[in-house]
């Protein structure tokens, strides 16, 4: 009888041990599967569920995931310039040569007013990827805000060799020439841009400014009178499409500023204009 009870006890212990072993094996297999599929799983958790912390917890060393999240916070879903910059910095820390990481980081520094660091980052992007010509646009813009107009003009010209149909490239190059007092060049640059975007509000406004500064007042008035209704019909969202990477909260103020600038120029030409 004692032997029988002992045998039953041993059988029970073995079964209990097997259950523990079964659970352990299940957890081990689950862990192996999770590790094996951590890359697609992390992207699914982020892109479909926006589980940022969970995605990064299972895939913390993926520079691509860091970059994707940075882009999300840089206007491709939400806007948080501090978070975007942090994720671009982490991308570079994990993979210093990750494509567009220095480019995007440069843009965040530019928006925050750290122009020297913006130049450093965009220069590195150009060292790594000299065929990515959009870098010249960002560097030209940064040099323009630094007041280094000769370098800015050279970069915008380089960019336009690659993308001559860019109205924004023509408009910003015209802005540089305006800062240099080269009003004939302003007009020529704007007119070239208008070949590709004949009703572009920014280009038409710049054309009016160039004509005004060249003393061609009747033509300037005609241009401002043409562009004002177009500017007044714009929505803040439409205005903001021309300023990717900027905080959407500034769109209404930016649009109003452009509209008021056109009105001021019309008043310069006609004091009775209201």
Of 3-12, 35-44, 196-205, which one has max mean pLDDT? 196-205
Instruction: Give tens-digit pLDDT for 58-113.
Output: 999 999 999 999 999 999 999 999 999 999 999 999 999 999 999 999 999 999 99
Q: Domain for residue 168, yes or no?
A: no
Q: Domain for residue 37, yes or no?
A: no
Looking at residue 7, what is its pLDDT?
47
Mean pLDDT value across the chain: 90
Q: Domain for residue 216, yes or no?
A: yes
pTM for the whole thing? Answer: 0.85
Cα–Cα distance list, 184 to 145, 160, 161, 189, 216 (Å): 22, 18, 20, 9, 12
Looking at residue 10, what is its pLDDT?
52
Q: Domain for residue 157, yes or no?
A: no
Q: Domain for residue 274, yes or no?
A: yes
Round the CA-based radius of gyration of the chain to a whole number and report it. 29
Q: Domain for residue 154, yes or no?
A: no
Q: Domain for residue 40, yes or no?
A: no
Residue 270's domain spans which residues? 181-274
Instruction: Give tens-digit pLDDT for 14-32.
Output: 556 566 655 554 544 555 5
**Residue 131, SS3 per DSSP:** coil
Q: Domain for residue 128, yes or no?
A: no
> How many domains, in total, are found in the chain?
1
CATH code (residue 226): 1.25.40
């Amino acid at each position: 009888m004692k032997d029988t009870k002992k045998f039953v006890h041993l059988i029970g212990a073995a079964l209990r041990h097997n259950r523990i072993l079964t659970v352990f094996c299940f957890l081990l297999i689950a862990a192996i599967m999770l590790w094996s599929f951590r890359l697609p799983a992390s992207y699914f958790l982020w892109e479909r569920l926006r589980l940022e912390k969970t995605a990064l917890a299972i895939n913390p060393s993926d520079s691509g995931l860091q970059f994707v999240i940075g882009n999300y916070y840089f206007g491709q879903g939400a806007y948080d310039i501090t978070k975007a910059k942090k994720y671009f910095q982490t991308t570079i820390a994990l993979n210093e040569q990750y494509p567009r990481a220095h480019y995007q980081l440069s843009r965040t520094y530019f928006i925050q007013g750290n122009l020297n660091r913006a130049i450093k980052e965009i220069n590195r992007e150009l060292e790594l990827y000299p065929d990515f010509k959009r870098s010249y646009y960002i560097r030209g813009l940064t040099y323009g805000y630094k007041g280094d107009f000769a370098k800015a003009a050279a970069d915008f010209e380089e960019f336009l060799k690659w993308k001559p149909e860019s109205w924004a490239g023509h408009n910003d190059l015209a802005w540089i020439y305006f800062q240099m007092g080269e009003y004939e060049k302003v007009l020529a640059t704007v007119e070239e841009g208008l070949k590709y975007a004949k009703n572009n509000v920014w280009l038409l406004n710049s054309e009016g400014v160039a004509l005004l500064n060249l003393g061609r007042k009747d033509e300037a008035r005609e241009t401002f009178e043409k562009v004002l209704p177009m500017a007044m019909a714009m929505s803040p969202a439409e205005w903001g499409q021309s300023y990717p990477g900027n905080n959407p909260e500034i769109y209404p103020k930016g649009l109003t500023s452009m509209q008021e600038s056109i009105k001021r120029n019309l008043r310069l030409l006609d004091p009775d204009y209201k």
